Amino acid sequence: MKKIGFIGLGYLGKTIAGRLISQGEELVIWNRTIEKGRGMAAELADCPKQVAQRSNVIFLNLFDSVAVRAVLTGDGGLLDGDIAGKLVIDTTTNHFSDVLGFHELCSKKGCRYLEAPVLGSVVPASQGNLVILVSGEAAAYETARPYLEKIGKTIFYLREPALASRMKLVNNLVLGTFMAVIAEATVLGERSGAAKETVLDILSAGAGNSGVMNAKKERILNEDFSTHFSAALIYKDLHYLQDLARTLRMPLFTGAVTKEIFALTFKDNKEPLDMSVVYEVMKTGYGS
């Protein structure tokens, strides 16, 4: 049986790869920091080109479009060898304009490319409960679907190139804004005299009831900001969203403000932590 390729072993990527392994897939993996792959029940490759040589379907899960371009076109990259007839499934949250170039680059090399950004983080990924947005050719989607169904519970096939990436950014406007509002509301409730647990319980029972609250409530309560989805990632996504709004000749009110709130995490090098660390930033800002 041909192995599945997997490139990118950050917090989410490693979890998705682990889910595929748990579902019976044999993987050949590569990561820029190869130590992240050691200990996994998978074959290690020396470069992306080697991953392509050993697999017909290759998943990508990288930080941004700069990293995707490097993996595709760099020395020893996926497109550096014979990749004709193979399928690249890119779960990275890409810039909506860069992703069009990735479709074209792969097409010129005779391989198929699907953008398939995911909604959800480490916990739903480990359970196979991600939501997946997919753009690309229908035949490529049909090839990819059995693998996507092992990591996602809901799949939206949007077909048009770059539409999946645009919709992922729109979704993350809601994600980032909810996170920032929940953090600020919690701090304001505490300053008003309520215990943090009480504030979070009231918000959970009221207007704050949401998937974001369910995912981040215990993290705020325990001030556990170990990374599932980093502040740096949501900041990057909101920056991409600003570019999208500019292209559409639309203002971006809440997204622009929320991006700058997450920018505060860079001040004390907190951006690698989970995005829920914005609570700590808010708390410090109000004077702890």
Which residue in this structure is represented by tokens 């792969």? 106
Q: What is the pLDDT of residue 29?
A: 96
For 63-84, give one letter per residue: b (16+ CB within 10 A) or e.
bbbebbbebbbeeebbbbbebe
Closest alpha carbon to 76 in 107, 35, 105, 47: 47
pLDDT in tens, the chain (288 residues): 489 999 999 999 999 999 999 999 999 999 988 888 888 999 999 999 999 999 999 999 999 999 999 999 999 999 998 899 999 999 999 999 999 999 999 999 999 999 999 999 999 999 999 999 999 999 999 999 999 999 999 999 999 999 999 999 999 999 999 999 999 999 999 999 999 999 999 999 999 999 999 999 999 999 999 999 999 999 999 999 999 999 999 999 999 999 999 999 999 999 999 999 999 999 988 655
Which tokens is 165 given? 């990436």
Kindly state the helix (H) or strand (E) to which residue 115 belongs, with its residue range. strand 112-115
Q: What is the pLDDT of residue 287?
A: 59
Q: What is the pLDDT of residue 259?
A: 98
Closest alpha carbon to 64 in 96, 33, 106: 96
The C-alpha atoms of residue 51 and residue 30 are separated, in whole angstroms, by 7
The C-alpha atoms of residue 113 and residue 136 are separated, in whole angstroms, by 7
Closest alpha carbon to 186 in 219, 164, 156: 219
Q: What is the pLDDT of residue 81?
A: 83
The C-alpha atoms of residue 140 and residue 130 are separated, in whole angstroms, by 20
Q: What is the pLDDT of residue 39?
A: 86
3-state secondary structure labels for all residues of 118-164? EECCHHHHHHCCEEEEEECCHHHHHHHHHHHHHHEEEEEEEECCCHH
Q: What is the pLDDT of residue 2?
A: 80
Q: What is the pLDDT of residue 285?
A: 80
The dihedral built from the CA positions of residue 53, 58, 59 and 64, taken in this order, carries a sign that is positive
Instruction: Flag whether the pTM goes above 0.85.
Output: yes
Q: What is the pLDDT of residue 37?
A: 80
Q: What is the pLDDT of residue 179?
A: 98
Closest alpha carbon to 58 in 34, 28, 25, 89: 89
Domains of the chain with bracketed CATH = 3-160 (3.40.50.720), 166-285 (1.10.1040.10)
Q: What is the pLDDT of residue 288?
A: 56
> In this predicted model, what pLDDT tens digit does every residue of 157-185 receive, in sequence order?
999 999 999 999 999 999 999 999 999 99
